[in-house]
Amino acid sequence: MSKLIVGPFNRVEGDLEVQIETADGVVEKAWVVSPMYRGFEQILHGKDPRDALIYTPRICGICSVSQSIATADALARAGGVERPKNGELALNLIHACENLADHFTHFYLFFMPDFARDIYRDESWFSPVAERFKAVRGRAAPDVMQARAEFMHLMGIMAGKWPHTLGIQPGGSTRSIETKEKVRLLSILGGFRRFLEQRLFNAPLEQMLEIGDQQQLEDWLAAGDPAQSDFRRLLQLSRDLHLDQLGKTDGRFMSYGVYPLEGARTFRAGLWYQGVAGELDTTGITEDISHSWMEGQAEPQHPFQGVTLPSGDPDKGYSWCKAPRLDGEVVEVGALARQLIDGQPLVNDLVQRSGSNVRNRVIARLLEMPRVLIEMEQWVRQLKPSEPYCSDSRTMREAEGVGLTEAARGSLGHWVRIKHGRILNYQIIAPTTWNFSPRDQQGISGPLEQALIGAPVRQGEREPVAVQHIVRSFDPCMVCTVH
Amino acid sequence: MINQTLGQQAGFNLLWLQSGGCGGCSLSLLNAESPNLLHTLEGAGINLLWHPMLSEETGSEMVRILEAILAGEIRLDALCFEGAVMRGPNDTGRFHMLAGTGRSMLDWVQDLAAVAGYTLGIGTGASFGGITAGGGNPTDACGLQFAETERGGVLGEAYRSIRGLPVINVAGCPTHPNWITETLMQLALGEFSEADLDEWQRPRGYADHLVHHGCPRNEFYEFKASAEEHSQLGCMMEHMGCLGTQAHADCNTRLWNGEGSCLRGGYACINCTAPGFQEPGHPFQETPKFAGIPIGLPTDMPKAWFVALASLSKAATPNRLRQNAVSDHIVVPPQTRKKGRHE
């Protein structure tokens, strides 16, 4: 038995340390540590509720729009504000742009460079992978940055800037889109589509969505050249390295659903466990602080009642992260959960066969890009320049509201209580808080701690590469986790 | 493996660390274009020793880079530090331990700044404390050389980097990618001196401008034709809390993400490049007034003149601007001249 402290992790957003105990070349126990705390929930106490729109996007620079959407939704709910259809479309476009840019950045700049590490130099695919994906020096990186920056011009037009826009308001978007801008938005989406079709998939986006099960995916892999398609390259090395056996959780999934339009969500909300889809009731959400550096009531609390107060006692727990649970159970969130619950056929087949693992998480993320980009093209076409984009927001004296949405990496919730026109309590549960939660009162580990069990550690490995793949397959956002 | 000769190489070695911010300045940096970030750095001869989002080295490999810098084996030309430094609880710095090292970032940054050719505070957090220092400042966050408007910070008022400059505050929440790349390129070229810093030690390249410059709503400002609700086209100074006439930055002439800015996006400037911006003392999106007159007027204009000119220009506001100011799209277009029109 030996213990390793692995950190700092890079190519994730924020700060992370993982402690593992290994025996016989595999991980036996794991502790996930979030070593940074800033105190947004404390900072928000006593503020004018509208000011939350300034603070919460600054929880995170990679999913700042998701934080804004959650705040705007919570305030809209608290104030009974309805959005015009243009406002819903505009907010969906801004949110989707962030989420897709996030998937794109994660795959090319965060996840793939690990396969270009020297530890894989004997693999048959190593030399083209190293040439294309090597961190900083790989051929893909500059092209990816250029494509990402050009895609983000959508933010310049619709949101003023990214990150940290203030254009997302309870009543909709502060930026009305004119006819001339609609066509420019379409050309920006067309540019991004071209990159995905030429380099990522080497196939039309519509064709990618027709792949309905694992067999068809294998047939599609065999029918083309991995040198021309980064997705094929991923499938090839996933097969060779058995990434479908790495980083398994017990596979209880949750999604809040996302991209609301005229009373429905484009991705539906729900729960999924062992092949059975269920309705989601968020009144069963609690946060447990038994293993966190936090003060408060011993019993887990629903976020409307919960508090976030740091403890001065370093021995009290092992992470600044709390342990959220749904009806007392651990759930995994993310693109895999979102698409599974929404009924995506290929994702459903992959999960039925091999559950939740490194390969399936990354495939789900990549296949979300064609699905959402096609929606974005439709949303732009539905914008009506002469009609309103924003309804009036109101000043609230006594109210409460919840905003539930999906960031790229999973379910994000904000719960706000307002008294005498000020924020009495504001609680946030971010996707990585679910996925990277520490143990709870029952000693049950969160999804990542579970997923690390059994990960191989090669002789003499100080930074086990399998641990790196598993961690990054969740695309963690640590600054959101602890806020 | 660390390249043993790197310390002696030509070129300009850059190390980037993040602490109590949101990573937004790094994400903004990735928006650099024409050329993209990597080609921009390469063209300027800037070597990335390590960046938390981009580099391969992880865990102990990364810590070894820090140790080699401190041991003098690698020359550190520029230390870019992003996010506030958290001194709490009780001056331990324990609110941010550098993972895998058992040491606070507070300790690491003090050691590394002592050997850095130049030290840059990236974003308003690292410059002054920023958002993390908001509310009651629960983590005792501050900037590298300022705690809000007070000089000092974690490096102290007297701090000078090896090449003799105080901390360069590339302030902004987030900061614009070009504010970072242009400052780094000037440093690498040796064309940056203390005279290039303003009173808050921000690069004057962008801080000598006001957000008001190039604002597309300037015609509304001229006639004090004001927006009253979000998404309306009028000037946002009178009712919506806009600080563009006082905020130091070139957002409306340089633009963001190809062509945006806060004002072009339809929302007020909150002066995010300034120390203390996170606690304006009133709701951000309301303009505080005394006897109906905004309190925060342009800093270099006598108040009496402003009031006199404002009432005059309000009386002269064309109908077109008066109507468009409170609409979410142009309802009255500019008139064409009828003289000389062909029948």
Q: What count of residues does chain B have?
A: 343
- From B27, B94, B267, residue closest to A174, measured CB to CB: B267
pLDDT number for residue B7: 47
Report the pLDDT averaged over residues B145-166.
98
| Residue A131 neighbours by CB under 8 Å, 6+ apart | A138, A139
Residue B339 located in a structural domain: no
On the question of a cis peptide bond just before residue A8, with omega within 30 degrees of 0, the verdict is yes
Mean model confidence pLDDT for chain B: 94
Domain end, chosen from B208, B237, B258, is at B208
CB contact (8 A) between residue B138 and residue A39: yes
Window 154-183 of B, Cβ < 8 Å to A:
173-174
DSSP state of A18: E
Helix axes A230-241, A214-222, angle to 10 degrees: 110
B230 and B121 assigned to the same domain: no
Using CA atoms, how far apart are residues A52 and A383, in angstroms rounded to an integer?
28
Q: Is the pLDDT of residue B5 over 50?
A: no
Residue B340 pLDDT grade (very low, low, confident, very high; cuts 50, 70, 90): low
What confidence tens digit (pLDDT) does each residue in B168-227 have?
999 999 999 999 999 999 999 999 999 999 999 999 999 999 999 999 999 999 999 999
How far is C-alpha B40 from the chain's CA centre? Answer: 20
Residue B4 has pLDDT above 50, yes or no: no
A390 labelled binding-site residue: no
Q: Are residues B112 and B64 in the same domain?
A: yes
> pLDDT tier at A18 (50, 70, 90 boundaries)?
very high
* Interface check A54 vs B, CB under 8 A: yes
**Closest residue in A to B281 (Cα–Cα):** A47
- Across the interface, do B262 and A142 touch by the CB < 8 Å criterion? no
Query: Is residue B66 domain-shared with residue B155, that is, in the same domain?
Result: yes
Distance of CA A102 to CAs A135, A221, A480, Å? 17, 25, 14
Does B343 score more than 50 pLDDT? no
Task: Report the share of chain A in percent with pLDDT over 90.
Answer: 96
pLDDT tier at A287, thresholds 50, 70, 90: very high
Does B341 fall in a domain? no
Percent of chain A past pLDDT 70, that is, above it, reads: 100
Residue B335 within a domain: no
CB contact under 8 A, B58 and A10: yes
State which residue of chain A sits closest to B105, comparing Cα positions.
A36
Residue range B71-101, pLDDT digits in tens: 999 999 999 999 999 999 999 999 999 999 9
Interface of B with A in 180-219 (CB under 8 A): none
From CA A377, how far away is CA A360, in angstroms rounded?
A: 26
Pairwise CA distance, residues A385 & A86, whole Å: 8
Same domain, B28 and B177: yes
Cα A78 to Cα A83: distance, rounded to the nearest angstrom: 14
**One domain for residues B258 and B197:** no
CA dihedral A447, A356, A9, A462 (to 10 degrees): 100
Residue range A131-184, pLDDT digits in tens: 999 999 999 999 999 999 999 999 999 999 999 999 999 999 999 999 999 999
Segment 422-481 of chain A within 8 Å of chain B by CB: 462-463, 468, 479
SS3 A408: coil
Token pair for B84: 């506030």
Q: Tell me which residues of chain B, numbers 258 to 297, contact chain A at a CB-CB cutoff of 8 Å.
A: 258-268, 270, 272, 278, 283-285
CB-based contact B136 A43, cutoff 8 Å: yes
H, E, C per residue of chain B: CCCCCHHHCCCEEEEEEECECCCHHHHHHCCCCCCCHHHHHHHCCEEEEECCCCCCCCHHHHHHHHHHHHCCCCCCCEEEEECEEECCCCCCCCCEEECCCCEEHHHHHHHHHCCCCEEEEEHHHHHHCHHHHCCCCCCCEECCCEECCEECCCCCCCCCCCCCCCCEEECCCCCCHHHHHHHHHHHHHCCCCHHHECCCCCEHHHHCCECCCCCCCHHHHHCCCECCCCCCCCECCCCCCCCCCCCECCHHHHCECCCECCCCCCCCCCCCCCCCCCCCCCCCCCCCEECCEECCCCCCCCHHHHHHHHHHHHHCCCHHHHHHHCCCCCCCCCCCCCCCCCC
- Residue B275 in domain: yes
For residues B95 and A361, what is the distance between their CA atoms, to the nearest angstrom? 31
Asked which of A26-40, A311-325, A330-344, B4-18 is least confident by mean pLDDT, the reply is B4-18
Task: List the single range of A154-158, A218-222, A286-290, B300-304 with lowest mean pLDDT.
Answer: B300-304
Whether residues B138 and A42 touch (CB distance < 8 A) is answered with yes
Please say which residue of B208, B239, B269 terminates a domain.
Answer: B208
CATH number at residue A97: 1.10.645.10
Q: Of the given ranges (A18-32, A165-179, B245-259, B299-313), which has the lowest mean pLDDT?
A: B299-313
User: Residue with structure tokens 């530890």?
Assistant: A119
Q: At residue B336, what are phi and psi to the nearest 5 degrees?
A: -90, 155
What pLDDT does A197 receive? 98
Tell me whether residues B31 and A463 touch, CB distance under 8 A: no
pLDDT for residue B301: 82
Whether residue B181 lies inside any domain: the answer is yes
Domain assignment present for residue B340? The answer is no
Give A463 or A191, the one with higher predicted confidence.
Answer: A191
Do residue B250 and residue B310 come from a single domain? yes
Please tell me whether A483 is known to bind a ligand: yes
Indicate the average pLDDT of chain A: 97
User: Phi/psi at A290 (nearest 5 deg)?
Assistant: -65, -25
pLDDT 10s digits, B263-274: 999 999 999 999
- The total of structural domains in chain A comes to 1
Whether the per-residue pLDDT at A263 is higher than 90: the answer is: yes
Partner A contacted by B21 (CB < 8 A): yes
Same domain, B172 and B277: no
Whether B231 and A176 lie within 8 Å, measured CB to CB: yes
* Percent above pLDDT 90 for chain B: 88
Q: How many CA atoms lie within 13 A of A276 on its CB side?
A: 5
pLDDT of residue B339: 65
Residue A398: how many other CB atoms lie within 10 Å: 11
Q: Which residues of A touch B90 (CB under 8 A)?
A: 312
Domain identity same for B166 and B18: yes
Quick one: pLDDT at residue B9? 60
pLDDT tens-place string over residues B214-223: 999 999 999 9
| B-chain residue closest to A19, CA distance | B100
pTM: 0.97
Asked if residue B18 is part of any domain, the answer here is yes
Q: Does B59 touch chain A (CB under 8 A)?
A: yes
Share of chain B above pLDDT 70, in %: 96
Residue B17 maps to which CATH number?
3.40.50.700
Is B142 annotated in some ligand binding site? no
Say yes or no for a CB contact (<8 Å) between B138 and A43. Answer: yes
What is the rounded distance in angstroms from the CA atom of residue A458 to the CA atom of residue A188?
Answer: 45
The number of folded domains in chain B is 2
Beta bridge mates, A258? A267
pLDDT(B304) > 90 = no
Domain of residue B201: give its range: 12-208
Q: What contacts A430, CB < 8 A, 6 or more positions away? A: A59, A60, A407, A412, A477, A480, A481, A483
B221 and B321 within one domain = yes
Residue B292 belongs to some domain of the structure: yes
Q: Do B138 and A150 touch (CB under 8 A)?
A: no
Instruction: Give the mean pLDDT of A82-111.
Output: 98
Estimate to the nearest angstrom the gap between the alpha carbon of B165 and the chain centroid: 19
**Interchain proximity B23–A61, CB inside 8 Å:** yes
Widest CA span in chain B: 83
pLDDT of A52-85, one tens digit each?
999 999 999 999 999 999 999 999 999 999 999 9
User: B80 a known binding residue?
Assistant: no
| A157, containing H or E segment | helix A153-159
**Å between A445 CA and nearest CA of chain B:** 20
Residue B143 shares a structural domain with residue B275: no
Whether the link from the prior residue into A314 is cis, omega within 30° of 0, is: no
**Does B321 lie in the same domain as B303?**
yes
* Rounded mean pLDDT, B33-38: 96
Closest CB from A9, A36, A160 relative to B256:
A160
> How far is residue B272's CA from residue B270's CA, in Å, rounded to a whole number?
6
pLDDT in tens, A393-417: 777 899 999 999 999 999 999 999 9
User: Which uninterrupted H or E stretch holds A473?
Assistant: helix A465-473
| Subunit contact A37:B96, Cβ cutoff 8 A | yes
Kindly tell me if the per-residue pLDDT of A89 is higher than 90: yes
- Model confidence at B290: pLDDT above 50: yes
- Structural domain boundaries, residue A297: 2-481
Running DSSP on this structure, what letter comes out for residue A224?
A: S
Q: Is the ipTM of this complex over 0.95?
A: yes
Query: B73 with B184, same domain?
Result: yes
Contact (Cβ atoms closer than 8 angstroms) between residue B130 and residue B123: yes
Shortest alpha-carbon distance between residue B315 and chain A (Å) = 28
Are A108 and A141 in contact by the 8 Å Cβ rule? The answer is yes
Higher pLDDT, A286 or A483: A286
Beta strands in A113-209 (DSSP E): 168-169, 172-173
